[in-house]
Amino acid sequence: MTTPRSVTVMGERVTPLTPEAWLEAVAAAVAAGERRVFVSQNMHGMAVIKRDAVMRSLHERAHVVRVDGMPLVWIARAAGRPVRRAERSGFMDLMGPLMARAASDGWRVYVLAGKPGVAERAAQLLRDQHDGLRIATDDGYFDIAPDSGDARERIERMRAFDPHVVLVGLGMPRQERFVHDHEAALPSTAILTCGAAFDYVAGAVPMCPRWLSAIGLEWAYRLAAEPRRLARRYLIEPLVLLPHALRDVARRGRDEPGGDDAQA
């Protein structure tokens, strides 16, 4: 198994991939029949991972840590890291190509996400858009603890569906904790964390226009839509991360211990 090239940004690993390369990495996991975990990283994730050892553990061994957030690209470039704008993508940028590939290649997709009924509503919309798409859903409102009967039942239903792709959208870091704690029981295929993607597809949460996301202003749209819930994420957490970003920039041109661009 070849692990895609990774770099470090603010001390954490990310995997710069274009959407096309990301999708090919998913296809390679499906073809190999190996359990490969695909996670994402953005500024909120950077703040969480600094204090959450479980999330860091999962990110350290994940096959791909997708760059999800233009600020990471800006910081990486300011620090001399080889990360291009084209190598950043939100999950909603990937949803259409992923579902089209699943429909064309006959992949079965299993979704664990959202409030009861939300993921299924989104799945029906996706079936309408992609003829032949085979997708099953379960809600994300359950006890994710390692000894949880609810979690065990959902994993049993997941495995019975025999999926080629598993999407886990429980919010960060809950989805990472679920994958970390239950990884050995999950199907041996591509396991993707997807945040609120199915809430967006179902219309349960307003989705940022993709042009705003492309220029790095998705945070402003989301803050305006949910100021009470997201004020800390978008106004306080970046200040907490500022010393880490400045340290990266100050080290520009110098390799970090272990090397920024090592390939596994």
* 87 within 8 A of 19, measured Cβ to Cβ: no
Q: How far is residue 240's CA from residue 103's CA, in Å, rounded to a whole number?
A: 43
Q: What is the mean pLDDT of residues 63-68?
A: 97
Give the type of residue at 28. Answer: A
Structure-token pair, residue 178 = 């679920």
Is 68 strand, coil or helix?
Answer: coil
The DSSP bridge partners found for residue 7 are: 14
Whether residue 69 is predicted with pLDDT greater than 50 in this model: the reply is: yes
**pLDDT recorded at residue 260:** 41
Structure-token pair, residue 175 = 């989805």
**pLDDT recorded at residue 257:** 40
* 35 within 8 A of 188, measured Cβ to Cβ: yes
Q: What is the mean pLDDT of residues 232-252?
A: 91
Please state the pTM of the whole predicted model.
Answer: 0.91
pLDDT digits (tens, 9 = 90+) for 70-92: 999 999 999 999 999 999 999 99
Q: How far is residue 101's CA from residue 133's CA, in Å, rounded to a whole number?
A: 9
Return the domain boundaries, the chain: 8-250
Residues 6+ apart with CB under 8 A from 116: 139, 141
Pairing between strand 7-9 and 108-113? Answer: unpaired
Backbone angles phi, psi at 160, to 5 degrees: -65, -30
Cis peptide before 116 (omega within 30 of 0): no
Structure-token pair, residue 67 = 């760059």
Backbone angles phi, psi at 76, to 5 degrees: -60, -45
Whether residue 119 is predicted with pLDDT greater than 90 in this model: the reply is: yes
With CA atoms as reference, report the closest residue to 122 among 154, 91, 84, 86: 91
Q: What is the mean pLDDT of residues 44-69?
A: 96
Please state, rounded to an integer, the average pLDDT across all residues of the chain: 92
